[in-house]
Structure 1
């Protein structure tokens, strides 16, 4: 059995450091040793006990100051610098025994996707676009590490169909890029409505999305939209394209029933205010159908106040990395003292 480790990753602000803290405390209470390693060069303070810190090698502040880079470019440079100095990482990891468990606190990076009701921070270029993290993970695997990717998403941001789909696709992008056993976790469930979170986890994505679009019911005279984006009444007559010549009442009739809105062919935020064209709605449903049909993305809820949630997430991670399968039983310390 190789050494076991978790790579805790995800967008900024999703609770990666908090996750590392509660996992370390949970394992300490279970008389189990877990080392937490900081790989975030922008970190400033820690609530957990740090085994070693990437800032001893390079920090984001130094990279930005010396190379005149912005935060995003500086972060990518720091991770590439780590990749060029993997001997430093190997020397630090070699200080641990083979049966010890390691959790890596990875960096987050912020992009902003704009929604009509506000900004939603999402950013994981390090995990879904640039290959630097993939190369670091490949090095760990070559050193005989069993690696599990723990991808965190904020539950308070996904209790809306559009944001839920964005989160699922974001996680899927990281899964495709990293090619690792993947565990998706919804954090901050203690701050969200748990019943609402469970609804999103239990309902199929396609069915959930479809509930937020108008139903086509010609018998009741409801307006629907054809493939060209033209409204048709009960008699089949064409009306003006929504958002151009349509009346306010027509626009409201053709709006999604929920807050799910797609930036699309109508153009930017203004197009989003008018609501999605039906072909974009069908595209959304098709994407969610793929996620459902192939069970590509599943989430585990995590409430840091609930020991059962913490234990369940840890159990899944342990199962993925096969932790404990080849461990030799150890004699309790009390027995050792009595023998002496």
Structure 2
């Protein structure tokens, strides 16, 4: 049985930085993970790349040869990956053991997680290779200081959850850049009535019924719970990793206990 994280989220949400910090944390605690680059446009890495989509296809080559722009070129690359997925994954995964832990650093184009089937098919291939997979959705914490942005972020995450049909962990990244954490605390695990009240105050009266329907949708799918991640704190990284491990049943046979993490705890 293998284990995998699919690290997704909007462009600029900190996916590659998360992967790098996770690798460093696991190296410190002497735990082996392998980071896989699924972004054909990536150029620089702060972590060792175990598998790289650019060995199969590169965005620069596609743009030059086909005259496509960045977005069209990336979609072409991902479709090419989908067409060659079985051969590529089989060849690459032969280098790893059955119990290896892979972290896939994905592109930031939101359509890949909402309505384009490439990543969904990718996940199905991983499952057929006997991998337990979790979607790790990163959202920039600075995006959460406004109720309308919060609801938008929730709906984007919900769209990815419905499309991929995976255990799903929502993470608020870049907490170290938030100057006033009280602005964030209200949105970490809010009550639906609080969300509706805030949304109604920001929207015109004619949107009241729509606001109610949106908040009910978010609440029904348990999408109002986010885990804050401060990469300066080892305990924060450890807590996030423990939640992800639990969702994919990693280390169930190991007698490991992880102390609860308090997001307000400033100690290292």
Q: Same fold (TM over 0.5)?
A: yes
Match of 1:103 in 2: 103
Deviations 1:280-329 (A, max 9, x none): 133113211332245244211111112221111100111111112357xx
Whole-angstrom CA distance in 1 between matches of 2:223 and 2:144:
17
| 2:245 aligned with 1:306 | no
Deviations 1:49-93 (A, max 9, x none): 111211111011111111121211111111111111121222112
Determine which structure has greater relative contact order: mean sequence separation of CA pairs < 8 Å that are 6+ residues apart, divided by chain length. 2
Distance 1:97 1:80, change over 3 A: same
- Look up the SS of the partner of 1:146 in the other structure: strand
Match of 2:259 in 1: none
- Map 1:84-123 to 2 at 5 A: 84-86=83-85, 87-109=87-109
Q: Structure 2 residue aligned with 1:176, among 139, 146, 162?
A: 162
TM-score, normalised by the number of residues in structure 2: 0.89
- Map 1:240-251 to 2 at 5 A: none
TM-score, normalised by the number of residues in structure 1: 0.71
How many angstroms does 1:39 deviate by? 0.5
| 2:121 aligned with 1:194 | no
Whole-angstrom CA distance in 1 between matches of 2:169 and 2:102:
16
Which range moves more in the overlay, 33-42 or 300-309? 300-309
- Look up the SS of the partner of 2:10 in the other structure: coil
| 2:199–2:211 CA contact under 8 A, matched in 1 | no
How many angstroms does 1:206 deviate by? 3.9
| 2:162 aligned with 1:162 | no
Match of 1:34 in 2: 33
How many angstroms does 1:201 deviate by? 1.4
Q: Structure 2 residue aligned with 1:139, among 108, 125, 130?
A: 125
Whole-angstrom CA distance in 1 between matches of 2:198 and 2:33:
44
Match of 1:289 in 2: 216
Whole-angstrom CA distance in 2 between matches of 1:174 and 1:204:
23
| 1:210–1:285 CA contact under 8 A, matched in 2 | no
Question: When you count helix as a share of all residues, which structure comes out higher?
Answer: 2
Deviations 1:8-43 (A, max 9, x none): 011100000001011111111111011101010010
- RMSD between superposed Cα atoms in Å: 1.7
- Look up the SS of the partner of 2:161 in the other structure: helix
Structure 1: unaligned runs, 5 residues or longer? 110-123, 214-255, 262-275, 328-340
- Look up the SS of the partner of 1:308 in the other structure: helix
- Rg (Cα) greater in structure: 1
Q: How many residues align?
A: 253
Whole-angstrom CA distance in 1 between matches of 2:123 and 2:212:
34
Match of 1:67 in 2: 66
How many angstroms does 1:48 deviate by? 1.1
Whole-angstrom CA distance in 1 between matches of 2:92 and 2:2:
14
